[in-house]
Structure 1
Amino acid sequence: MEFTIRHIAPLYKKILLILFCISISSCTEQYVFQSNTFESILVVQANITNELKKHEIKITRSYRLEENGPSFEKGANVYVTDSDNNSYEFEYEDISGLYVSKNDFQAVPGKSYQLNITTQDGKSYSSKTETLTPVNEIQVEPKVVTVDNVKGVQIMVTNFDPSGKSRFYRYEYDETYKIVSPDWKPNKLMVDPNGPGPHPSYLIVPRERETRVCFTTKKSDNLILLSTTDSSEDRINLPIRFIDAASPILNERYSIIVRQYIQNLESYTYYSTLKKLSTSTSLLSQVQPGFNYGNLKSNDDPDEKIVGYFEVSSVSSKRIFFNFRDLFIADPYPPFYTDCQPVELSNCWDAKGCAGATILALVNSKVPEKVYYGKLGDNMEIIIFVPSACGDCTSFSSNIKPLFWID
């Protein structure tokens, strides 16, 4: 989640874009749209949890409507202090653009924590002191259901806090699925450097890397919030992710890890407001966007705006795995991601229907549209190709097996 001016005022942005489109329809010259007023606002995304690890803090600047994205705030002095006068320092990483704690630490009950930032230009910012929220473990379970006449698997999150002290929840998940290219072959083609004749000839050689089995990981990209304040008990039964049984991501093996953050009322209110401002669905909505103040302030100028929230929350996570047949006993397997129809190409140059130039381009391409599948004839008169995804999963996924993966 990026906290930007785009998220702060999406409704205004829609109105401006509509007016812009109307205006250019009646003009003969192009007009480059630019925002007339702009404030460079510090944007902070920080969450300290009860996990013993190196924590991360993201600090950027708001950006103009016509810009592609935020700029990272580099060179800041960032540290977290607790009520026992301990200090946890963070350092900037160029690769990730994040400030990462130099040492592992965790938030513990009974202590309060404060975020402190001094930017490269000497401006000082700090948060309110925050304490760790209660811990409440979750359970995650897949269930076969039918939603709107579509059969699929519903990932359910359940928990219960008999003390009733949790009440405010935020969720996120990462899903990972295994991909096996159905038309994979252990060999590939390469141009024979010693080939005779005016036209290239080819060698069949083993592949140098894993291209049959891959893994794709995707993160949830929306705010999932829940409150039980209107319920008689602090019990959660939340459908967090529905997947159509015909989705190719279920074709092999699927895994999901769900994280539950228990928030306090103030942080829940902040994220609820942020969600409303970021998901306005109608230009006629009665919800008017505005500035969403968090728990951060400037120590130099009380009128300076700063976006973001320093949250100290307990987190509970649960990962599950399942294969398609674990849930769908008699259903047909989902189709692959693309049609894998083979294509036969004539390995010649001088006659009608020859595809020698096409074959050479496919063999030499770093990101080929199609990959080698087989041949017909001792002299490779016909070479068969399939779409890249069908024979080389690295064309759209990663061949690196996650450390957590269990087959």
Structure 2
Amino acid sequence: MKFRLIKNIILLSFLTAFFNSCTEAYPLVTNRFEEVIIVEANLTNELKKQEIKLTKSAKFEDESYLSESGAEVFITDDTGNQYNFSEDSEKYLSDIEFQAVPNTKYQLHIKTKDGRSFESSPETLTTVTPIQSVVAAIEEKDGINGVGIRVYSFDPTDTSTYYRYEYEETYKVIAPKWKPTKIEWVSSTNSPIFVPNSPDTKTCYGSKKNVELMLQSTNNLKEDRIDYLIRFINDQDYIITHRYSILVKQYVESQAAYNYYNTLKKTAASGGTIVSPTQPGFLLGNLRAVNSDSKISGYFDVCSVSTERIYFNYEDLFPGKFPPPYIVECKEFCYSTDEALVPDPCSHWGHYGDDLSLEKITYFSGTGSGGFTYWVDAPCGDCTRIASSIKPPFWIDN
């Protein structure tokens, strides 16, 4: 997430300057380019295989980012332990499960396959402060009614102070016009056939993660107490139509880490650039080159984490109220080749075979009045068009 922010900030700044100074269109091609290693590394107090991501900065014209493969990655602590990491699907995972513990200094080491070496400053685990609760309730924001999801936390020692949040939301999707029979187009015969509809296309599960940096500080408050609106959902958003769940993660950050993330967030919000006007390079964190003047960006974050998951149904918060509309309008329609029948009773002119072969529509209710077959757009009868039919392992129904 942090690397995407860095690339987008630079691209936005470049485009702004480009279009403000030019009247002719030119291809966006980088004339000068210095490769920078981007590091995403969170070492937490969770007992697990820890994860580190290494990527390379991209040129403006590049459509994707390359991972930094073939590197030697390990973490050491001041008690003599070394935790080695191995490459696994564009990331590096620790060979064993381990966790950061209090009063111990940890340091990240990276050796690239071309011989460059990097290391972080020694970092210690922050205060372990659990989430007290995550609560969903009816709330109004900017004149819009909806569901406010708030995180509550309290540190009586007043030593946490700096917080970062992430969430992943999951929601049930039920195709409102699903039927046990559908039509498929057979290209070899240029004709449709009736087939059983898979029950897996009726109920699905969507999932999204936050994309913005969410930071909170209690530095100017009388006590180290958090009441933070982490998510607001419009009451007309289809994701809360049935059942909704959110997993909230609370990271307690050091002041240095908080300042790094806060600078990154402010730069992104302002549309500015994190490239220095006097020296090319990225926003500096707590990493440095050991044997060269190579550039490296990112942050080795040693932080405590607390997680909490909640569920709610639409009926729990809005009893007796009509649920939000589906993501697409599920109005029934039919096709006709007789222009006299368009738009009444049929709204689509032409042959349905084209749309059926492209899987744009779903058979709905068979033959209606006047001998017409009625249809709906594909997501209305097949939820896999907008979500996954695989039920998450953590999911709990009513």
TM-score w.r.t. the length of structure 2 is 0.89
Match of 1:27 in 2: none
CA pair 230-377 structure 1, distance change in 2 beyond 3 A: closer
CA pair 183-38 structure 1, distance change in 2 beyond 3 A: same
Match of 1:160 in 2: 154
Counterpart of 1:117 (choices 110, 115, 125) is 110
Structure 1 counterpart of 2:17, one-letter code: L
Deviates more, 1:368-377 or 1:241-250: 368-377
Q: Contact between 1:375 and 1:383, CA under 8 Å: does it hold in 2?
A: yes
Identity over aligned residues, as a percent? Answer: 41
Structure 1 counterpart of 2:184, one-letter code: M
Deviation at 1:60, TM superposition (A): 0.6
Match of 1:276 in 2: 266
Instruction: Output one character per residue of 1:79-128: Cα deviation in whole Å (capped at 9) or x when no partner.
Output: 1122222222212223xx11112222111112221111111101111111
Q: Contact between 2:9 and 2:272, CA under 8 Å: does it hold in 1?
A: no
For 1:282 and 1:74, the matched residues in 2 are separated by: 30
Structure 2 counterpart of 1:105, one-letter code: F
Match of 2:373 in 1: 383
For 1:335 and 1:364, the matched residues in 2 are separated by: 27
Deviation at 1:193, TM superposition (A): 9.8
Structure 2 counterpart of 1:13, one-letter code: F
Structure 1 counterpart of 2:145, one-letter code: K
Deviation at 1:360, TM superposition (A): 2.9
CA pair 260-192 structure 1, distance change in 2 beyond 3 A: closer
Match of 1:51 in 2: 46
Q: Contact between 1:48 and 1:312, CA under 8 Å: does it hold in 2?
A: yes
Deviation at 1:204, TM superposition (A): 2.2
CA pair 88-282 structure 1, distance change in 2 beyond 3 A: closer
Deviation at 1:316, TM superposition (A): 0.4
For 1:331 and 1:278, the matched residues in 2 are separated by: 39
**RMSD over equivalenced CA pairs, Å:** 2.9
Q: Contact between 1:10 and 1:278, CA under 8 Å: does it hold in 2?
A: no
Match of 1:324 in 2: 314
Structure 1 counterpart of 2:172, one-letter code: K
Match of 1:169 in 2: 163
For 1:278 and 1:146, the matched residues in 2 are separated by: 27
Matched, 1:394 2:380: no
Per the alignment, in what secondary structure is the counterpart of residue 71 of structure 1?
Answer: coil
Q: Contact between 2:13 and 2:272, CA under 8 Å: does it hold in 1?
A: no
Per the alignment, in what secondary structure is the counterpart of residue 170 of structure 2?
Answer: strand
For 1:384 and 1:399, the matched residues in 2 are separated by: 25
Structure 2 counterpart of 1:56, one-letter code: E
Per the alignment, in what secondary structure is the counterpart of residue 310 of structure 1?
Answer: strand
After superposition, where does 1:134-283 map in structure 2 within 5 Å?
Answer: 134-138=127-131, 139-190=133-184, 200=191, 202-208=192-198, 210-280=200-270
Q: Contact between 1:9 and 1:290, CA under 8 Å: does it hold in 2?
A: no
CA pair 356-270 structure 1, distance change in 2 beyond 3 A: closer
For 2:324 and 2:203, the matched residues in 1 are separated by: 17
For 1:128 and 1:206, the matched residues in 2 are separated by: 61
Matched, 1:307 2:300: no
CA pair 323-102 structure 1, distance change in 2 beyond 3 A: same
Deviation at 1:356, TM superposition (A): 11
Deviates more, 1:256-265 or 1:322-331: 322-331
For 2:367 and 2:162, the matched residues in 1 are separated by: 64
Q: How many residues align?
A: 387
Deviates more, 1:131-140 or 1:380-389: 380-389
Deviation at 1:147, TM superposition (A): 1.9
CA pair 296-193 structure 1, distance change in 2 beyond 3 A: closer
Q: Contact between 1:171 and 1:260, CA under 8 Å: does it hold in 2?
A: yes
Q: Contact between 2:139 and 2:146, CA under 8 Å: does it hold in 1?
A: yes
Match of 1:16 in 2: 17
Instruction: Output one character per residue of 1:44-63: Cα deviation in whole Å (capped at 9) or x when no partner.
Output: 01001111112211101111
Counterpart of 1:335 (choices 295, 317, 325) is 325
Q: Contact between 1:132 and 1:312, CA under 8 Å: does it hold in 2?
A: yes
CA pair 7-265 structure 1, distance change in 2 beyond 3 A: farther
Instruction: Output one character per residue of 1:4-58: Cα deviation in whole Å (capped at 9) or x when no partner.
Output: 65356466324323236x421xxxxx52122332210111010011111122111
Per the alignment, in what secondary structure is the counterpart of residue 23 of structure 2?
Answer: helix
Q: Contact between 1:255 and 1:319, CA under 8 Å: does it hold in 2?
A: yes
Matched, 1:35 2:26: no
Q: Contact between 2:10 and 2:272, CA under 8 Å: does it hold in 1?
A: no
For 1:261 and 1:63, the matched residues in 2 are separated by: 29
* Structure 1 unmatched ranges of 5 or more: 25-29
For 1:113 and 1:336, the matched residues in 2 are separated by: 49
TM-score w.r.t. the length of structure 1 is 0.87
Structure 1 counterpart of 2:137, one-letter code: K
CA pair 203-239 structure 1, distance change in 2 beyond 3 A: same
Q: Contact between 2:180 and 2:199, CA under 8 Å: does it hold in 1?
A: no
* Structure 2 unmatched ranges of 5 or more: none
CA pair 329-33 structure 1, distance change in 2 beyond 3 A: same
For 2:265 and 2:187, the matched residues in 1 are separated by: 59
Match of 2:362 in 1: 371
